Amino acid sequence: MQNFWFFIEVLVGGLLSGIMYSLVALGFVLIYKASSVFNFAQGAMVFFAVLTFVGVMELGLPFWAALPVAIGVMVLVGMATERFVLRPLVSQSEDTLLMATIGLSFVIEGVAQLAWGVDVRNLNLGIQDEPINWVMDKTGMLISQLDITAGIVASIMVASLALLFSRTKVGRGLRAVADDHAAALSIGIPLKHIWMLVWATAGVVALVAGMLWGARSGVQFALVWVALKALPVLIIGGFTSVPGVIVAGLLVGASEKVVEVYVGPKFGGGVEVWFPYVLAVLFLLVRPEGLFGEKIIRRV
Amino acid sequence: MFYREAGQFRTSYAQDSQIFPLRQDRIGIAIILMAAVLLPFVANAYWLSAILIPWLVLSLVALGQNILMGYAGQLSLGSAGFMAVGAFACYNFILRVEGIPFVVAVALSGVCAALVGIVFGLPSLRIRGLYLAVATLASQFFIVWALDKFPWFKNYDPAGVITAQPIVMFGHNFASPREKYWVVLVIVAALALLAKNMARGSVGRGWMAVRDMDVAAEAMGLSLLRTKLQAFAISSFYCGVGGALFAFAYLQTVEPSAFTIELSFRILFMVIIGGLGTIMGSFLGAAFILLMPIFLNVSFHGVFGQSVDASVISAVEQVIFGVMIIAFLIYEPLGLARLWQLTKERLRLWPFSH
């Protein structure tokens, strides 16, 4: 019986960490859905957003004042990206844009370090990374309060973003722009405004993801590499699907933890470093567009 | 005025299919090669071992990456993983085969890397673009993990960081930086020539067809399986040889932690800034990425006098790298190699303007 509860604990822990991955992946999906650009710089944006938030708080502002300041900074970053990186490259191939965002990630990482220094900072959100007592008493499982909170926040964000894209006029405009820039322009959709909106939203999502990750493991440079973990989530879920991100995140998180705990010790551990990627590759071989993605049609 | 082809007649097929048809080009290459060979007599040990050797080795790896990304169009982020395969294979060959010449060990380790490359290149038959990049990330993480976790690769060494064996060939121990430089120079020059020939032959044309539109290439009768796996194999061979040289001629240690994803990204940048789809671009890009930090360091010290904090310099370096990548992609997507080509074209017309 104890083994069963242990398994449930590992599973739930994995599911919750998977939700954290999907939060980061959500930023990618947003930008991809609205501008067909894979924003490699999302990880750097997560890092920069939360670093700005913590840095501003250190300068004396309280929590609720620092939040809009950080959001404002991310909106500015988004606008600058759109103006200086995306607009000059507007009709280039996907690979070119991808490489441009790789360059952008370096710029943002460097600016973050120049502006706020390289020290590791702690972020206290008021919710402790401690087990929930009544769950622990009843079943012996250790499930972190922070993780549960993150799960709830992530679910709310995903639900609201999914509604935005499918039910609102703005959402339709975003989808139109992603499909075909030129066509969207020709029917009067204001491209620049749409892009600014998208990047601003992605910045806000990055801030939320950064805050939750930062509270969990400290605000440090390693946060940038968390975005790399979101890549398998994106691939399995499909680049253009908001609900797909959650499902894939849960899948990746759960499988990663379960494999690490049950198979990892046979190899000395560290399996979770590469397992999500191999899982993503296996998915790709069977279903190249991901679980919920749009089918890729290539014309010659 | 000087760089003209007037008066140079090609009267045989062999002459017509030369790599450098212009006499001036051939003279230029001969001068460069001679300068490269004679360089150790004027350069000091620091320049040789800290700048020139890594430049040559990383150019070789960038060449491999260029073959895969620039010529065959397969986005790859796993070059450091293949380097690691090459380094460990070389270490194991020298360890377990008594008296094997270094060049043979390096070649065999390249073959090992090529085989691993074929395995991890199999997904390229089904997936393209960014998805393939993620698959190569899988290869990068998996290879480094496997080399770390299975102690056979490190010969059960408890410390985890193995010292590379000395470079021994034909009974001679190539120990000094000068000798190591010459070994590396010969290997890199030979492989670069090979790559140039492959790129302009039917092999390279097949890669470029796959890059430009693989559906059409397949419709024309090109076997995508063979072409893509060939690209992965050859590219991994180059990365493997580069990795072996990296460990034996530069780092002097063989450890998985030298072949991180940051190295993969550095090589990616070398190829992008140098110029995708060119041989020259690999060398130019490697030089740029290697020399930029040193140049920044020196200029910071010059401008600010006392030494600036290392983290500040590295942060500025990162920003400049990122800006350069974006700038190159916007203004000169074909990289430094294209700038060099434009210079040559201007020289061909000089002193006239058109």
pLDDT of residue B32: 92
Examine residue A288 and say whether the peptide bond preceding it is cis (omega within 30 degrees of 0).
Answer: no
- Pairwise CA distance, residues A195 & A81, whole Å: 10
Beta strands in chain B (DSSP E): 162-163, 167-169, 172-174, 253-254
Residues spanned by the domain of B156: 21-258
DSSP state letter for B124: G
pLDDT at A7 over 90: no
pLDDT at A118 over 80: no
Let me know if residue B48 belongs to a domain: yes
User: How many A/B residue pairs have CB atoms within 8 Å?
Assistant: 125
Quote the mean pLDDT of chain A. Answer: 83
Let me know if residue B50 belongs to a domain: yes
Residue type for position A112: A
Opening angle at CA A113, ends B76 and A121, nearest 5: 110
Q: Tell me the shortest Cα–Cα distance from A246 to chain B, in angstroms.
A: 19
Opening angle at CA A235, ends A230 and A237, nearest 5: 90
Would an 8 Å CB–CB cutoff place A277 in contact with chain B? Answer: yes
| Cβ within 8 Å, pair A285-B322 | no
pLDDT at A5 over 70: yes
Q: Which of A66, A112, A191 is nearest to B319 (CA)?
A: A112
Helix, strand, coil in percent for chain B, rounding step 5: 75, 5, 25
Let me know if residue B248 belongs to a domain: yes
Residue in B closest to A265 by C-alpha: B149
Q: Render the burial of B296-306: b for 16+ CB within 10 Å, e for the rest.
A: bbeebeeeeee
Compute how many other C-beta atoms are within 10 angstroms of the C-beta atom of residue B17: 12
Q: Kindly indicate the confidence band of residue B308, based on its pLDDT and cuts at 50, 70 and 90.
A: low
Would an 8 Å CB–CB cutoff place A95 in contact with chain B? Answer: yes
Residues B55-82 pLDDT 10s: 999 999 999 999 999 999 888 899 999 9
Would an 8 Å CB–CB cutoff place B324 in contact with chain A? Answer: yes
Let me know if residue B160 belongs to a domain: yes
Helices B279-304 and B53-66 cross at an angle (nearest 10°) of 130
pLDDT at B209 over 90: yes
Let me know if residue A160 belongs to a domain: yes
Let me know if residue B12 belongs to a domain: no
| Cβ within 8 Å, pair A278-B324 | no
Q: Kindly indicate the confidence band of residue B33, based on its pLDDT and cuts at 50, 70 and 90.
A: very high
pLDDT of residue B305: 63
Q: Kindly indicate the confidence band of residue A252, based on its pLDDT and cuts at 50, 70 and 90.
A: very high
In a mutagenesis test of the A interface, which of B71, B149, B215, B329 is the best target, namely the one with the most A β-carbons within 10 Å?
B329
pLDDT of residue A178: 76
With a CB cutoff of 8 Å and minimum separation 6, the contacts of A41 are A81, A101, A102, A104, A105, A107, A108
DSSP state letter for B165: P
pTM: predicted TM-score of the whole model, two decimal places: 0.89
On chain B, the residues whose CB falls within 8 A of the CB of A103 are: 321-326, 329
pLDDT of residue A129: 67
Let me know if residue A58 belongs to a domain: yes
> Which of residues A136 and A41 earns the better pLDDT score?
A41
Let me know if residue A245 belongs to a domain: no
Residue type for position B302: G
On chain B, the residues whose CB falls within 8 A of the CB of A105 are: 322
In a mutagenesis test of the B interface, which of A95, A99, A119 is the best target, namely the one with the most B β-carbons within 10 Å?
A99
pLDDT at A116 over 80: yes
CA-to-CA dists, residue A144 to A50, A121, A131, A257, angstroms: 21, 21, 4, 15
Let me know if residue B116 belongs to a domain: yes
Q: Is the dihedral of CA B106, B109, B113, B118 positive or negative?
A: positive
- Pairwise CA distance, residues B133 & B114, whole Å: 18
Q: Does ipTM top 0.85?
A: no
- Max mean pLDDT among A155-164, B144-153, B227-236 falls in B227-236
Residues B279-302 pLDDT 10s: 999 999 999 989 888 887 788 777
Number of domains in chain A: 1
Residues spanned by the domain of A149: 2-228
pLDDT at B307 over 70: no
For the segment B39-47, the average pLDDT, to the nearest whole number, is 87
Residues A120-154 pLDDT 10s: 777 777 766 677 777 677 666 677 777 788 788 88
pLDDT at A298 over 80: no
- Pairwise CA distance, residues B182 & B164, whole Å: 18
pLDDT of residue B67: 94
Residue B259 contacts residue B243 (beta carbons within 8 Å): yes
Let me know if residue B279 belongs to a domain: no
pLDDT of residue A143: 72
Let me know if residue A186 belongs to a domain: yes
Let me know if residue A21 belongs to a domain: yes
On chain B, the residues whose CB falls within 8 A of the CB of A48 are: none
Let me know if residue B68 belongs to a domain: yes
**Through-space distance between the first and last CA atoms of chain B, rounded to whole angstroms:** 13
Residues B171-197 pLDDT 10s: 888 888 888 999 999 999 999 999 999
Number of domains in chain B: 1
Let me know if residue A129 belongs to a domain: yes
Give one DSSP letter per residue of A72-115, joined into a string: HHHHHHHHHHIIIIIGGGTTS-HHHHHHHHHHHHHHHHHHHHHH
pLDDT of residue A1: 60
